[in-house]
Amino acid sequence: MLDNLPRGTICIEDIEMGMSRHLRKQITDRDIEMFAEVSTDRNPVHLDDEYAQDTIFEGRIAHGMLTAGLISAVIGEQLPGHGTVYMGQSLKFLAPVRPGDVVYAEVKVIDIDHAKRRVTLDCHCSVNGKKVLIGEAKVLAPSRKFD
């Protein structure tokens, strides 16, 4: 048995169909600037008000992958949690996220392969109840048993 699993980690032995977790985060200018720095994606639609005003978005937007990162946060911190290994992720961006928006990110268990420790999660992010991102993640969940 592994005694050092972090509090909140849900092991494959305890994961059930329909189980879900979520977080809420307000996207700030600082978040967008830090993401641009880390990712090196300095597209002016994210950073330059004047430039972004003349785009189809009519204003600055957050990086799509910044929003997608909130899905990763739910998976890595809550369901299954620490020790989870990402195996794959599909994403479809439906609407922009703007500075100041509060994003609700949720994952829900839709398939479990206990023998292989694999979990499939339905994922979405929304702003004011409107979905801005949908997708599906496949992960390798931690186990209380040694491999």
**pLDDT score recorded for residue 6:** 60
* Residue pLDDT, tens place only, 76-117: 999 999 999 999 999 999 999 999 999 999 999 999 999 999
- The model's pTM is 0.92
Query: Which CATH number is 14-140's, of 3.30.1330.10, 3.40.30.10, 3.40.640.10, 3.10.129.10?
Result: 3.10.129.10
Higher pLDDT pick, 129 / 5: 129
Would you kindly state where each structural domain of the chain is located, as residue ranges?
14-140
Contact assessment for residue 20 and residue 96, using Cβ atoms and an 8 Å cutoff: no
* Residue pLDDT, tens place only, 14-28: 999 999 999 999 999
